[in-house]
Structure 1
Amino acid sequence: MKTLTADALAAARRYLLLNARLIDRLRCESLLDGAPPERVLAVLRGYQNADGGFGNALEPDLRGPESQPEPVEVAFWILDELDAFDDPMVTRACDHLLTVTAPDGGVPFVLPSVRTSPRAPWWETPDDPPGSLVPTASIAALLHKHKIEHPWLAPATGFAWAAIEKEDKPTPYTARAILHFLEHVPDRDRALGEFTRLREAILATVAFDPDAPGEVHFPLDFAPEPLTLPLFDQEVLDRHLDALIGQQGSDGGWAPNFPMWTPIVAHEWGGFITVARLGTLKAYGRLTS
């Protein structure tokens, strides 16, 4: 079993100092050194708008200041890793989600306001977008995980159940959102039933060859920390954890495997993903103590 060596960890820290945004540098300090979360939270507040939503390139491919649903998910994953769901940012964000929720109970993948600012070419939407499992299901999952009560959550949960029940061939991103939801939603019998039905369809979206090129989704993208749902066996996880250690770049970071459409996002995504990879290695006990 491989572990990330002290020298490799030092190289990752240096990579973050040279490339990463302040928020990701501070996330690393919290993750690896046990630094208090207050500085991360202070920086995260800078990405939250007056309307309670998040924007301002917290999701690096959305460069504008406008609030969008997906940056709420990004913010909530950061709050999750800090165990800081008692922060007032959560309620403010949920209040905002109420104002942009579609009639079907879900929030859209992206709102038409995206058209006013530079963004990656895949952020496109009709004028009146419907709710989407990405990011509705993942946002709801994290609220359920942390036992947050808010008027947005029940309709969003109902939307997610209805949309999941219609799925049989999800895309990788949708499969990941479904898995997040089924991992944390309170109705465990229903969650296990849907997981059993969809397990093979979810696995069909996974790249099991750790050397697979291009924009593919590996087991550790679905399980960045151990799951309770039985999606992967330990042999698969161990193989990909070994590979993840070997995929650290000569510069100390882990590179994105999806398109970089403007130069700055390579650095911003590189920092974000490097912290995420270190978090995965820590969650599975693969950092040298």
Structure 2
Amino acid sequence: MRPSYGGVMKVLPASGLDRAAEFLRLNGRLIDRHRFALHFRGGPAGPVLAALRAYENPDGGYGHALEPDLRGEGSQPVPAQHALDVLHECGADDDPRVDRIGDYLASITAPDGGVPFVLPSVRETPHAPWWQTPDDPPGAINPTGTLAGMLYRAGSRHPWLGPATDFCWRHLEDTDTEPGPYDALSILAFLDHVPDRDRAEAAFTRLRDALAAPVTLDPHAAGAQHLPLDFAPTPDGYGRRLFTADAIDAHLDALIDAQADDGGWDVPFLIWTPITRPEWRGLITVERLRTLHAHNRLKP
């Protein structure tokens, strides 16, 4: 591998992967232990899909702390993102659960064509303090853009995609403010997968600087920062085009260094109830390893 910025590229050694495996055995949720086995131990997809089923509700949505900071049983929009990601990584884009998620999203869509960030039912359940909503929430680009992008990625033709896609294009063309980090991530997910590639390219070109604005380029910045690898977890997609190769390489080196002594990766954001730290750390540890693998930073 080339040392693109004057240093020797770091790779995570096999012992680092072993330490991560032990961390997950001690601390991770069952679904994340199975995800680790799928990606890094040649494990089958079946156990991952079976574990995901425990989070599904009869309405086709997901709850039960699949999103660790939403502890309630009922369905919410953002956990559907987690479910679509799990189905995709299992090679199960044709699973009937994908269409059921579309049905659920159609049932909660606001009149403007988007789904809200969070539904008012969150107030009746334990949740992190930032999950707030008015009584009649409008659609929001986060998570509508991500959900639409993920359904397009899955090859879905669900009717919900029509109004949701119109909502996203209106948001991109009408807004004159810089998106926050989560809105930017949702916009990138939409642009990566929406079928109108010429329109997506034009939107990315117009919004490129605004999409990169929330990102902290210092690989050693402390606190709850949004870093290039959050926007470019793989070498593909529009997120990667926001950053130079040197910036990505520096952050990959820092990511390897950030593996904790216990084998996992930590999270920089607020832990508001004790269980969420090990749950988030297990999820994030699998994601950090997937990022390193995608960028060829795991020792063969």
For normalisation by structure 2, the TM-score amounts to 0.94
SS of residue paired to 1:107: coil
1:288 aligns with 2:296: no
Q: Check conservation: 1:23, 1:40, Cα contact below 8 A.
A: yes
Write the letter of the residue equivalent to 2:63.
G
Per-residue deviation at 1:214?
Answer: 1.2
Q: What residue ranges of structure 2 are gaps of 5+ in the alignment?
A: 1-8
The answer for the alignment partner of 1:50 in structure 2 is 58
Per-residue deviation at 1:51?
Answer: 0.9
Q: Aligned partners of 1:147 and 1:25: how far apart in 2?
A: 27
Q: Aligned partners of 2:104 and 2:189: how far apart in 1?
A: 22
Q: Check conservation: 2:93, 2:155, Cα contact below 8 A.
A: no
Give the superposed CA RMSD.
0.9
Aligned counterparts, 1:52-91, within 5 A: 52-91=60-99
Task: Give deviations 1:133-178, integer Å, cap 9, x for gaps.
Answer: 1111011101112221101111111111111223330001101111
Per-residue deviation at 1:184?
Answer: 1.2
Q: Aligned partners of 1:231 and 1:239: how far apart in 2?
A: 15
Instruction: Go from structure 1 to structure 2 and tell me whether the alpha carbon gap of 1:118 and 1:228 turns closer, same or farther (over 3 Å shift).
Output: closer
1:199 aligns with 2:215: no
1:211 aligns with 2:220: yes
Per-residue deviation at 1:227?
Answer: 2.3
The answer for the alignment partner of 2:38 in structure 1 is 30
Q: Aligned partners of 1:59 and 1:248: how far apart in 2?
A: 23
Aligned counterparts, 1:227-246, within 5 A: 227-229=236-238, 230-246=241-257
Write the letter of the residue equivalent to 2:230.
D
Q: Aligned partners of 2:90 and 2:207: how far apart in 1?
A: 31
Task: Give deviations 1:224-257, integer Å, cap 9, x for gaps.
Answer: 1112332222211111111100011111111111
Q: 1:101 aligns with which of 90, 95, 109?
A: 109
Aligned counterparts, 1:84-163, within 5 A: 84-163=92-171
SS of residue paired to 1:263: coil
Per-residue deviation at 1:34?
Answer: 2.5
In the TM superposition, structure 1's runs of 4+ consecutive aligned residues that sit over 3 Å from their partners are none
The answer for the alignment partner of 2:230 in structure 1 is 221
Task: Give deviations 1:18-47, integer Å, cap 9, x for gaps.
Answer: 110000000000011221211100110110
How many pairs were matched up?
Answer: 289
State, as a whole percentage, how many aligned pairs show the same letter. 55
The answer for the alignment partner of 2:266 in structure 1 is 255
Q: Check conservation: 1:176, 1:222, Cα contact below 8 A.
A: yes
Write the letter of the residue equivalent to 1:173.
Y
Q: Aligned partners of 2:221 and 2:88: how far apart in 1?
A: 30
Q: Check conservation: 1:45, 1:89, Cα contact below 8 A.
A: no
Per-residue deviation at 1:113?
Answer: 0.7
Instruction: Go from structure 1 to structure 2 and tell me whether the alpha carbon gap of 1:83 and 1:233 turns closer, same or farther (over 3 Å shift).
Output: farther
Per-residue deviation at 1:76?
Answer: 0.9
Q: Check conservation: 2:148, 2:161, Cα contact below 8 A.
A: yes
Per-residue deviation at 1:85?
Answer: 1.1
Q: Aligned partners of 1:23 and 1:40: how far apart in 2?
A: 6
SS of residue paired to 2:242: coil
Q: Check conservation: 1:137, 1:177, Cα contact below 8 A.
A: yes
Write the letter of the residue equivalent to 1:188.
R
For normalisation by structure 1, the TM-score amounts to 0.98
Deviating more after overlay: 251-260 vs 160-169: 160-169
Q: Check conservation: 1:183, 1:227, Cα contact below 8 A.
A: no
Q: Aligned partners of 1:69 and 1:92: how far apart in 2?
A: 13
Q: Aligned partners of 1:166 and 1:37: how far apart in 2?
A: 42
